[in-house]
Chains A and B, each alone.
Chain A
Amino acid sequence: MPDRPAETLSTAPSGAAAERAVDRLQGMAADVRGCAVIASDGTALAATGERARWGEAAAGLLAAADAAAGEPATQVHVATEEGEAFAVRDGGYAIVAVAERFALASLMLTDMRAVLRDLARAAGSADAAAARTLAGEDG
């Protein structure tokens, strides 16, 4: 399902904003076992578990999806017997999540896109505040 792209982030969302995004996604979707916010360099900004392990595994999934599609993937859904893996990528950032088998996929992806959009908006607000500060300092 195509969707409006998130704003491109010129700065990384803060760790606190990423943590809030992870908490929010867990609260929105009851079937989520765990999730993480991934930066463009593959590092996990926040995760429900060990960030390094989430970052590594998420980078692997996104790389496999890019290779399968032949271009950067914006959305990934893999359903296995053990659970379901999701990834949504936009604006240089991504959210990955693992859910129970037969989770409501389209709602899950809609929630992930909403969280990613809000994260982009938060980072955009931080950019604007920094610009205003700089302008104030110059004036």
Chain B
Amino acid sequence: MPPKPHRVLIDRVSGYADEAVAYLRRRRHSRRPFARVDVAGGRGASHSPDGEAGRELFLAAARLIEVARR
């Protein structure tokens, strides 16, 4: 079944609203790197590069960014 048109619109509008929130959050953090992982059910958590899990995330992301550079 094709997606309902209003669903697409709602996705876009909520995307802009989320972006505004994200912009304010980024400004507060003033260019500090961050990592966020979400799981099923809309739950998620941020991970600092100081922790072990966060460090692995940043290393893996750096490898991916390096691949995209080539």
Contacts and interface: CB of A to CB of B under 8 A. Distances in A.
Contacts of A78: 33-36, 57-58, 60-61
Contact residues on B (Cβ < 8 Å of other chain), bracket: 35 or more
B64 A98 contact: yes
Chain B interface mostly: helix
Chain A interface mostly: mixed
Given A49-B70, A68-B53, A110-B15, A2 B63 contact: no
A106 B25 CA distance: 13
A138 interface: no
Interface string A56-89: 0110110111011101111111111111010000
A3 B7 CA distance: 11
Contacts of B22: 105-106
A50 B33 CA distance: 27
26 contacts: A1-B14, A33-B65, A34-B68, A50-B67, A53-B67, A54-B67, A57-B66, A58-B64, A60-B60, A60-B63, A61-B57, A65-B37, A68-B35, A68-B57, A71-B40, A76-B36, A78-B58, A79-B33, A79-B35, A80-B33, A80-B65, A85-B65, A98-B68, A104-B19, A105-B22, A117-B3
